Amino acid sequence: MGKFCTNCGAPIEEGEVCRNCAAQISASNGGYDETGEPMTVKSFFVALKNQMGIGEPENDGMGLYERGMNIVPDCVKASEGEIPVKQYNLATLRTRWLFKRAEGRLQVTNKRLIFRSTGRSISGRITQQNEFAIDEIKGIQSARNFKFHFLDFLFGFIVAGLSASIIRLAITAMSLNAFGLILGVLLGFAGLIPFFCVHKHFLLKLIPLGISVGAFGALMLSSAFFVVFYIISLIIILADLLLFSFKPNLVISIKARNPLPAINIQKNGTSGLGFAEVLSTQETESAIREIGAIISDIQELGDRGIEKWQSRD
């Protein structure tokens, strides 16, 4: 049973320290919290955030992302006779420029299909939940593709441009003497290597590629011979920039027997979840393959359908 902090009156769980008062207590106790344990940097800022009134204190004992928990019965009360059948960690939802991130799970029971996502934003904790009666579901549409994100392109362009400009100015400042010429050649060719040798990490590869573009850009001022390598490096850095800007996108629409979708997992929109990106997880492909069959078996076979899919876990 919950209780209230004797100092500020905030609701807390039994045996829990009030985070609203932690910052003040730490200051008065020389850096130690109410339990006598040292205050970490993270706990200090959490306490400070709560003291400022930003968001809500995370004191429900469930964890920010509710990882390792079943929606029913750990997070949502089960109805009479409701039996959980299978659950998937379906998607990661985020809007990076708003510091919003959530993790979405999809659970099938013998009575409901529930999508629940929990996470954080600047203002505090996020919780979203959609559910529909299992008998009212008639179909599922899903797609995994890639979408271009302009803000990623702009950010990557700035990173590559800065690294290219710095190297070009540095080599040009050497008046392209023998040392500057040798250094430019080494940096120009060395900067191209990570693009072919490093798996993914397209943002990190933009830095050495920018160095390569800057080096060949400075060298071509002394010899037209380096114009070819400058063009090649520009083509490669543009390819990497595009690869960085295209992000995976997941769309799952679960259709109900009425005109509206039961659950529509997609990017911002009137029927979406309000996130700019919906990314797949390791369990997404399994969910896409199995969820339709699970619902169909429960609708047609009843208890035998439940036993069939529970036995596969």
Query: pLDDT for 223-239, tens place per residue?
Result: 888 999 999 999 999 99
Of all residues in the chain, the percent with pLDDT exceeding 70 is 74
Contact 215, 184 (CB under 8 A): yes
Phi, psi values for residue 37, rounded to 5°: -85, 150
Q: Is the pTM of this model over 0.75?
A: no
Structure tokens at 195: 């693009």
Query: pLDDT for 79-102, tens place per residue?
Result: 898 999 999 999 998 888 888 899
